[in-house]
Amino acid sequence: MRFGVIGSGSWATALTKVLTDNEHKVNWWVRNEAVIRHIRARHHNPQYLPSVHFDTDLLFLSDSVAEIVESSDCLVVAVPSAYTASTLESLDRKALEGKLVLSAIKGILPEQNLLLNDYLHQEFAFDKADYFTVMGPCHAEEVAAEKLSYLTFSGLDVTRTRQIASHFATDYLNTVTNQDVYGVQFAAILKNIYALGAGIAHGLEYGDNFLSVLIANCADEMAGFLRKVGIRHIEVGVHSADDPGKQAPHGRSANYAASVYLGDLLVTCYSLYSRNRTFGNMIGKGYSVRAAQLEMNMVAEGYNASRCIHLINKEIGAEMPIADTVYRILWENVKAAVGFKQIEPYLV
């Protein structure tokens, strides 16, 4: 299988590392020609995860998306959601025919307010059976450092999902598979919003006790939203025989909800690697949204996601006081301290 990676940020760089560690030749779209020259000459990405050394004999680098798409069987899309549509818009409508798409995007396309699979279906008549996702819980920095991490692969076709996942399995990466394409994407979007909230709480100098209650309520709020959109496999502690071929060593059936839902929420809310937590921390300390964006010089997916979920929830009608508060702080200029005082009574 010929893999093409679209994107050159931290997550794209980490996934390219994983594939080349497994001796795959990778077609890699990098937007900046100067970065391409640097990777060819110095064997590392100068902007993201510079400690990762690449065997450039395994890389075909190009700043042409069309060239990467044409040369690849499976496209790993790993650009920030805000730039995904503009990255793909130059492609011919039939460019994705016969291709597999593996989404590494933990966000929602903000201008269209669509998940990537729905956008591709709308714009390219892309078959959703050929669409897969790769989610956490993990951070690119720890994957780059080869610290044991877990990746969750989702797709409608069980056999092909497992086949794709097998190409990413290494000594430092365990893989889990499921068919919950919509659930894992919405969970990834929501956990970024809640990580912003956790960061805001930290910036406001709430303590660990409050933060634990906040995140527990975030998990409950997430589950409520997921049920409203029709997701059912969301209960931690529930094990079934739906997938008898995927048994854990202790004999129970694997429950991916514990990892891809709760695990990803926890690591994004607590980890110092989390961009969303860092962004929220700045907001809690009094930075404006624009000042925080300039200071970070990196994309915090939860910012746009908070508005997208707010709009979606107008139709869904889930109870989301925490996500709604984060939205109002970021988009309606509600003071962070005022907003959190308003949600304190909702927490149990």
pLDDT tens-digit readout, 223-256: 999 999 888 766 666 655 554 444 444 444 455 5
The rounded distance, in Å, linking the Cα atoms of 222 and 224 is 5
- Which pLDDT tens digit goes with each residue over 13-30? 999 999 999 999 999 999
Q: Residue 253 and residue 207: Cα distance in Å, rounded?
A: 36
Query: Which domains are delineated in the chain?
Result: 3-179 (3.40.50.720), 183-346 (1.10.1040.10)
For residue range 260-294, what is the model confidence (pLDDT) as tens digits? 788 889 999 999 889 999 999 999 999 999 999 88
Cβ neighbours of residue 245 under 8 Å, at least 6 residues apart?
none
Query: By the 8 A CB rule, do 265 and 194 touch?
Result: yes
pLDDT confidence bin for 55, thresholds 50/70/90:
very high
Residue 320 makes CB contacts below 8 A (sequence gap 6+) with 221, 224, 225, 309, 313
Average pLDDT, the chain: 92
- Which pLDDT does position 244 carry in this prediction? 40
Distance CA 53, CA 32 (A): 19
Question: Which two three-digit tokens encode residue 171?
Answer: 């000594």
Q: What value does the mean pLDDT take over residues 83-106?
A: 96
Tokens in use for 224? 């409520």
* Cβ(29)–Cβ(64) below 8 Å: yes
Which amino acid is it at 52?
A: V
Q: 170 versus 136: which is more confidently predicted?
A: 170
pTM for the whole structure = 0.91
Pairing state between β 149-155 and 131-135: antiparallel
Structure tokens at 6: 């679209």
